[in-house]
Amino acid sequence: MGAYLLRRLALVVPTLLGIILINFAVTQFAPGGPVEQMLAELKGEAGSTLGRLSGESQGELRPQQRREAAGEGSSRYRGARGLDPAVVAEIERAFGFDKPWQDRLLDMLWGYARFDLGRSLFRDRPVASLILEKMPVSISLGLWSTLIIYLVSIPLGIRKAVRDGSRFDLWTSAVVLVGYAIPGFLFAILLVVMFAGGSFLQWFPLRGLLSPGMEGAPFWERAADYAWHMVLPTLSLVIGGFATLTMLTKNAFLDEIHKQYTVTARAKGAGETRVLYGHVFRNAMLLIIAGFPATLIGILFTGALLVEIIFSLDGLGLLAFEAAMRRDYTLMFGTLYIFTLLGLIMQIVGDFTYTLVDPRIDFEARR
């Protein structure tokens, strides 16, 4: 197992490098970078300045001078029209865009190799500190959602396997499949409209994890307020997670129930409960338990992003969304680096979990 883990860890580096290179290449061709964002904020001032140049003052200028004052042909940025080229150059220098793209790429990769994610272009704070500050919110949301999915889906899947083909099996399958067909973000909007003061009821808060003024309250009050705020976001994430795990549990138990060792256990006089939980449970739970890390990562870094935005939860999803909107490339690539690294590591943890659940699995023996 040690050699297999070393090989998997060695593959993390080229995988990370490939993902970063592809996304870096895409951003080079995408319109509206951080320099354009800053120039757009300054455009109002530039427009008023050019307005003052109109009339008699601008009429005294020669045509070439008017073109230079308007910024025509003097910059590769559309937003630079009417701005002093020295100001544009200063903005480029502040954001590091005065260097060639290959130099910026090498600087970024060297920083990532030392886990130096740089500073946010617009927040002027280290990217690592921003990610560490927002991570507890996303991890909390992901952990609660994953635990609820497992606590509901595993008993439900076992029950469906025992009562395969019954009415209970049919209507529960219909319910979980309908839930699976509803996107998490769409269900989140429905919950906001129904229960967060959208159009009907005001039972739950709309944003944040704590109510204003609860920071200095006793622990049990803060815990209750936190749980109250987590109800709707957690429901939004778990609604689509029941189907896959429930059906996987059911099929895994059905497959094990009809194997020879269960027939032998029943022939020796073992009760149905002992056969189910003493013999079938461990073998059937192999794929389910080993898939826990991947399920957590999937909820944490995919479904949770839009849910955090809808409920204004100050987590990694909202941070990444704001970075994309502001074209904060340093923060965008920093969050991408962390997301990818955690995803790859959790995949390795998932493989390692297989060997813990079933020692018969040997990845090193595979060819």
Highest mean pLDDT among 34-43, 116-125, 283-292: 116-125
Query: Does the pLDDT at position 53 exceed 60?
Result: no
Query: What value does the mean pLDDT take over residues 60-88?
Result: 52
Query: Does the pLDDT at position 84 exceed 70?
Result: no
pLDDT value, residue 361 = 66
pLDDT value, residue 71 = 43
Q: How confident is the model at residue 321 (pLDDT cuts 50, 70, 90)?
A: confident
pLDDT value, residue 359 = 65
Query: Does the pLDDT at position 57 exceed 50?
Result: no
Query: What value does the mean pLDDT take over residues 21-38?
Result: 75
pTM over 0.75: no
Query: What value does the mean pLDDT take over residues 21-48?
Result: 69
Please give the CATH number for the structural domain made up of 128-365: 1.10.3720.10
pLDDT tens for 136-193 read 888 888 888 888 888 888 889 888 888 888 899 899 889 888 888 888 778 888 888 8
- What percent of the chain clears pLDDT 70, i.e. is strictly above it? 74
Query: What value does the mean pLDDT take over residues 128-140?
Result: 84
pLDDT tens for 247-285 read 888 888 888 777 777 778 777 777 777 777 776 777 777
Q: How confident is the model at residue 364 (pLDDT cuts 50, 70, 90)?
A: low
The domains of the chain are located at 35-116, 128-365
More confident residue, 34 or 334: 334
pLDDT value, residue 52 = 44
Query: Does the pLDDT at position 323 exceed 80?
Result: yes
pLDDT tens for 201-252 read 778 877 777 777 777 778 788 888 888 888 888 888 888 778 878 888 888 8
SS (H, E, C) the chain: CHHHHHHHHHHHHHHHHHHHHHHHHHHHHCCCCHHHHHHHHHHHHHHHHHHHHCCHHHHCCCHHHHHHHHCCCCCCCHHHCCCCHHHHHHHHHHHCCCCCHHHHHHHHHHHHHCCCCCECCCCCCEHHHHHHHHHHHHHHHHHHHHHHHHHHHHHHHHHHHHCCCCHHHHHHHHHHHHHHHCCHHHHHHHHHHHHECCCCCECCCCCCCCCCCCCCCCHHHHHHHHHHHHHHHHHHHHCCCHHHHHHHHHHHHHHHHCCHHHHHHHHCCCCHHHHHHHHHHHHHCHHHHHCHHHHHHHHHHHHHHHHHHHCCCCCHHHHHHHHHHHCCHHHHHHHHHHHHHHHHHHHHHHHHHHHHHCCCCCHHHCC
pLDDT value, residue 365 = 58
Tell me what the pLDDT averaged over the chain comes to.
75
Query: Does the pLDDT at position 16 exceed 80?
Result: yes
Highest mean pLDDT among 126-130, 197-201, 305-309: 126-130
pLDDT value, residue 93 = 73
